[in-house]
Amino acid sequence: MSEFSLTQLKKGESGVISKFDSEDANTMRLKEMGLHSGVSVRLIKFAPFGDPLEIKIRGFHLSLRRAIAEKIFVIKKIKRE
């Protein structure tokens, strides 16, 4: 399975957080908010010019700047029918 930046998901696609590219203050804040490896995330939408983007995680919606979202890597969930 390949890892992708959160920004590479398409609207409505889901993935599981696999890693963070950095350990800066923004990353620490996201971890405090519940974004950890192994947690499912779904891309809801991008703002009109692509920044910020809205995700759904652990039952709540969160807006992230593209620069921060690019440092979050996910493994896409495959839809099974």
Residue 16, in any domain of the structure: yes
pLDDT confidence bin for 79, thresholds 50/70/90:
low
Domain that holds residue 48: 3-76
Please identify which residue in the block is written with the tokens 């979202």: 69
- Asked if the model's pLDDT at residue 1 lies above 70, the reply is no
Residue 11, in any domain of the structure: yes
In this structure, what CATH number is given to the domain that contains residue 38? 2.30.30.90
pLDDT of residue 21: 86
The string of pLDDT tens digits covering residues 17-61 is 999 988 888 888 888 888 889 999 999 999 988 889 999 998 999
pLDDT confidence bin for 3, thresholds 50/70/90:
confident
Number of domains in the chain: 1
**Model pTM?**
0.83
Residue 81, in any domain of the structure: no
Question: How far, in Å, CA of 28 to CA of 44, rounded?
Answer: 23
Encoded amino acid at 37, one letter: S
Residue 26, in any domain of the structure: yes
- Asked if the model's pLDDT at residue 72 lies above 60, the reply is yes
Contact yes or no for 42/64 (Cβ under 8 A): no
